[in-house]
Amino acid sequence: MRERRNSKHWLKIALFLFFTSASLGAQSVQFLPEVDSYLTLNSMVRTYFQAKDDREGGDPTQATLGPSIQFYLKPLLKLKRITAYDPDDAKARPLVFETGYRYITAPNAAPENRLLMSVTTHLPLTAKFLILDRNRADLDWKDGKFSWRYRNKLTLERTVAIYSYHLIPYAAVEPFYESQYEKWSTTSLYFGTLLPVGKHVEFNPYYEHDNNTGKRPNQQVNSVGLAMYLYFSVEKQ
C-alpha cells in the first residue's frame, strides 16, 4: 500500500514536470515529448517502438517514428544489483546490440528514412555508479540523397533513495560526426532524472543543450523533454 502511494506521488511529480516543460517550450526553449514501448520476447531479445520529437544532431524539430530490435548478453550480478530499481532490464546486461528503422518528418521538408545500428556497453563503478556507453551509426536517405552520421553517447547515473522511493539522476554527453559537414558538428549535453512508477512505467524529464557548429553562425539550442517508457513482456513475471 505504501509503495502504491509513493508511486502515485511520483507520478504527480512527473505530470507536473510535463506541464511545466510544455509551458517553457511555448516560451523560449523547445519541448520534446517521447513515448517508447518495449516488449521483451525472451531472455535475449527485446523489441520496441519509438515515437518522439527531437533535434538530434542539430536538426530542426522533427517527428521520429519507428521500431527497433535489441539483442542481449546474459546479465551480470553486479549490474543487476545496481539497476535493481530500474524497470529497464537491459541495463543489467553488459552488452546490448540494436538495429532499427525510423521514419522522420519535419515541416516544409521531405520525409527521411533512417536505418540505425548501435552497441551499448554497461559498466558498473564503485559507489553504485553506472556508465552507459552507446556507439550508434545512422544511415539516412532523403530526397534520393544518402548521408550518415556517427554518435557516441556517454551517460553516468546512480540510483538515489528518498525514503522508500528510488529515482535515478543522470548526466550525459553525445557528440555527432556528420558526413555532410565532414566533421564533429554537434555536441549535446543532457541532465535528467529517471522516475520509475512500478515495474512497467518510467518517466524521464530532462534538459538538453545542443552546440551546433555544422552551419554558420554556430547555434546554441536549449530544450526540455519528457519521455515515457513502457515495459511489457510475453513471459510471465
Yes or no: say if 196 and 2 are a contact pair by the CB < 8 Å rule.
no
What's the average model confidence in pLDDT over 145-169?
96
Query: How crowded is the C-beta side of 199, counted as CA atoms within 13 Å?
Result: 5
Q: Between 11 and 159, where is the model more confident?
A: 159
Query: What pLDDT digit, counting tens, does each position of 63-86 carry?
Result: 999 999 999 999 999 999 999 999
Q: Look at residues 134, 135, 71, 123 and name the one whose alpha carbon lies nearest to residue 92.
A: 123
pTM above 0.85, yes or no: yes
Q: Are residues 31 and 74 in contact, defined by beta-carbon separation less than 8 angstroms?
A: no
Determine the average pLDDT of the residues in 19-28. 47
The residue ranges of every structural domain in the chain are 2-233
CA-nearest of 223, 211, 222 to 185 is 211
d(CA 52, CA 137): 19
CATH architecture of the domain 2-233 equals Beta Barrel (2.40)
Is residue 6 a contact partner of residue 161, using CB atoms and an 8 Å limit? no
**Cell numbers of 84, please?**
535493481
Contacts 24+ apart (CB under 8 A), 107-111: 107/60, 109/60, 109/62, 110/142, 110/143, 111/142
